[in-house]
Amino acid sequence: MMCERPPRSLRSRLPLTREPPKAAGGRSHAISNWSGRNVFETVVHIVNTSYHVYDAFQDFNAMDLIKINEHPHVRFNPLLREWVQVSPKRSDRPWQGQIETLAREQLPQYDPDCYLCPGNTRVDGRKNPQYESTFAFDNDFPALAPSVPDGHYAESGLLLARPERGICRVLCFSPSHDRTLSRMSGAEIGGLVDAWIAEYVSLAKESHIDYVTIFENRGAMMGASNPHPHCQIWATATIPNEPAKEVASLMAYRDRHGDCLLCAYMKMETRLKERLVFENEEFAIIVPFWAVWPFETIVISRSHIGSMAALEECGRNELAFALKNITWRYDNLFGCPFPYSMGFHQRPTDGREHDESHLHAHFYPPLLRSANIRKFMVGFEMLGTPQRDITPEAAASRLREAGGTIA
């Protein structure tokens, strides 16, 4: 519908002063705003300079997902409250851009020049122990410091800065230089899960720590400075941007619906099966309906628990197998060590209850067409809206087919 140019503050969400229209079948699309007030509100998408506003709940003809997937469209991410552009035909365009150098598939079991292998000396002169499972230590080049001056900087309400305290840790997965998650046994990954839990619990006890982020950057393409399989753990004095957005969305959904957003979403996806890649008794691996990266996945706990620390032994083992499963599929997809950034979102450690928290992990892999053609987040993705070239349904289908026999 045509409308006058809305005020700048209202361009992403316009309140309705009328009852929402009824869709086909007479079903009313009423939703409250995120603060829970009893009003009707809709998310809008402004698409050109004529200020056509497309109401997500207008009385358009119903269209099934197969039909929608034949055309460019946008999908809503309820965790971040952002839109994602899906352009299904764009991957057909010829590619004369950057071709990535393939990573070496065979790494030695031990590298005498690796700063993370057992018994080797790190840059600062400290020597690693002859560890036989996992090995955790304070990062030699931390991005955060546990002690910083108090105070803040402010200029006219626009220039704001404050010190941020924190702790940075490194956790080696295995003494073997070539033992990635996809090549580790279930028992070995189970030991890694136990180590993650110990780190989370220990850091949560620090009075100045409000959030613990456990993440892995796999591969040089993702900025990994050392190929020895390891992750980083950053414990921060405040909740970082991405989990903070999720916390707000989870709280708003709970207040509105009396349910957990991720519980409801996981149940829907395991029923529909269209984007489900793998499931066991405790976890489901899904290509999110709103995925941005080509083969992005989310690993969701079936139980409504806030952190890995709440997992029983069975749950820890099932998480280990789920991680083995998805990383194995990734490596099989293009027959190469699959790069990705992955990390866990868990309950904040700020002393509040955070009953809305639901344990999950995100995998963000960049590869698009092959082992040496990646997705770039540039141009419109940086200046406008994140965009993907293949549908999440197609990506999930290819990941299901990439399972094979898991060693």
Transcribe 62-112 into DSSP letters.
P--HHHHTTS-EEEEETTTTEEEEE-TTGGGS---S--PPPPPS---S--T
Per-residue pLDDT tens for 377-388?
A: 778 888 999 999
Domains plus CATH for the chain? Answer: 1-62 (no CATH), 91-99+259-401 (3.30.428.10)
Residues above pLDDT 90, as percent of the chain: 67
Distance in angstroms (rounded) separating the CA atoms of residues 171 and 139: 9
Give the 3-state secondary structure of residue 325: helix
Distance in angstroms (rounded) separating the CA atoms of residues 294 and 345: 21
Does 113 score more than 90 pLDDT?
yes
DSSP 22: B
Distance in angstroms (rounded) separating the CA atoms of residues 189 and 302: 19
To the nearest whole number, what is the mean pLDDT of the chain? 84
DSSP 8: G
Which tokens belong to 178?
Answer: 């070539």
Per-residue pLDDT tens for 245-282?
A: 999 999 999 999 999 999 999 999 999 999 999 999 99
Contact assessment for residue 17 and residue 3, using Cβ atoms and an 8 Å cutoff: no
Which residue among the candidates 228, 230, 345, 358 is catalytic per the annotation?
230
Sign of the dihedral defined by the CA atoms of residues 268, 272, 273, 279, in that order: positive
Active site residue 29: no
Structure confidence at residue 29 as a pLDDT band (50, 70, 90) = very low
DSSP 164: -
Distance in angstroms (rounded) separating the CA atoms of residues 237 and 350: 9
Mean pLDDT confidence for 104-115: 87
Bridge partners for 297 per DSSP: 363
CA distances from 319 to 15, 153, 191, 193 (A): 42, 43, 11, 8
Distance in angstroms (rounded) separating the CA atoms of residues 14 and 36: 15
Which tokens belong to 42?
Answer: 């809709």
Per-residue pLDDT tens for 123-170?
A: 999 999 999 999 999 999 999 999 999 999 999 999 999 999 999 999
Q: Cα 298 to the chain's mean position, in Å?
A: 6
Contact assessment for residue 222 and residue 341, using Cβ atoms and an 8 Å cutoff: yes
Distance in angstroms (rounded) separating the CA atoms of residues 18 and 118: 67
Contact assessment for residue 209 and residue 267, using Cβ atoms and an 8 Å cutoff: no
Q: Cα 88 to the chain's mean position, in Å?
A: 22
Model confidence, pTM: 0.84
Which tokens belong to 109?
Answer: 């079991």
Question: 173: closest CA among 199, 195, 203, 143?
Answer: 195
What's the angle, vertex CA 216, arms to CA 230 and CA 162, rounded to 5? Answer: 115
- In this prediction, residue 357 carries a pLDDT of 98
Q: What is the CA radius of gyration of the chain?
A: 23
Does 47 score more than 60 pLDDT?
no
Amino acid at 235: A
Mean pLDDT confidence for 339-365: 96
CA distances from 18 to 15, 22, 33, 322, 364 (A): 9, 12, 14, 47, 41
